[in-house]
Amino acid sequence: MDAQYWDEKYAGRDRLFSGAPNGVLVTEAADLPPGQALDVGCGEGADAVWLARRGWLVTAVDISRTALQRAAAAGADVADRVAWRRADLTAVPPPAGAFDLVSVQYFPLPRRPADTALRGLLAAVAPGGTLLVASHDPAELPPRHELGIDPNDYYQPADIAGVLGEEWRVLVEETRPRTAPAPAGTRHTRDTVLRARRLR
Ligand SMILES: C[S@@+](CC[C@H](N)C(=O)[O-])C[C@H]1O[C@@H](n2cnc3c(N)ncnc32)[C@H](O)[C@@H]1O
């Protein structure tokens, strides 16, 4: 799933996602004081725009140029509070300790030796900051032959929780019903959520 894969996926439809912020983000971030946020794999930008409208300064990163163009258009009213950035987050880590919130919503993060890309994302959370990860419930994922990828090649929230050391406190780790309809063409009914606070 490289840049070409994602650009073609976005180009195949006028709009891939609903345009509404993800339910997990809305539920979990509503009580956080605004600061610096990183939206990991921001797609068409609904989460980043929602955060910016609530006062956050957002760095929104995606590998797809097409997605970022749509996102910037959707967030024209908050252009001064969102930096849209094209990068491959599996290759280039975000700045360390820079973000009060790192939001990872349905981001396909491939497993790597020594967890390098994952550790780069974790390191981006500032002391006192929040890591929020939402994935589709792994139990609901279609089999490999339908999905075209092996879900086991990608981190699930439980894997990420397993990497967190003593400098983290896990606040939420659960699977729960989605609060929004499943993305078009999918049958997801549940989210798996990890929310953790970096203590130091
Ligand atoms: C399933 S979509 C989720 C988009 C958005 N977070 C949402 O929930 O609507 C995954 C997004 O991650 C982006 N992406 C995939 N691999 C990436 C990578 N290595 N670096 C940056 N973005 C990536 C894709 O282009 C896509 O927009």
CATH class of 3-9+23-198: alpha beta
Q: How far apart are the first and last CA of the chain?
A: 34
Instruction: List phi, psi (to 5°) of 26.
Output: -60, -45
Q: How far is the CA of 58 from the centre of ligand 1 (A)?
A: 16
What are the domain boundaries of the chain?
3-9+23-198
DSSP reduced 3-state for 113 = helix
Query: What's this model's pTM, rounded to 2 decimal places?
Result: 0.96
Q: Whose CA is nearest to atom 9 of ligand 1?
A: 43
Closest CA to 199 of 132, 133, 98, 130: 130
Each of the 200 residues of the chain gets a pLDDT tens digit; together they read 899 999 999 998 888 888 899 999 999 999 999 999 999 999 999 999 999 999 999 999 999 999 999 999 999 999 999 999 999 999 999 999 999 999 999 999 999 989 999 999 999 999 999 999 999 998 888 777 777 788 889 999 999 999 999 999 999 999 999 988 888 778 899 999 999 999 99
State which of 4, 6, 9, 101 you would mutate to test the pocket of ligand 1, scoring each by most atoms of that ligand within 8 A of its C-beta.
6
Q: How far is the CA of 42 from the centre of ligand 1 (A)?
A: 6
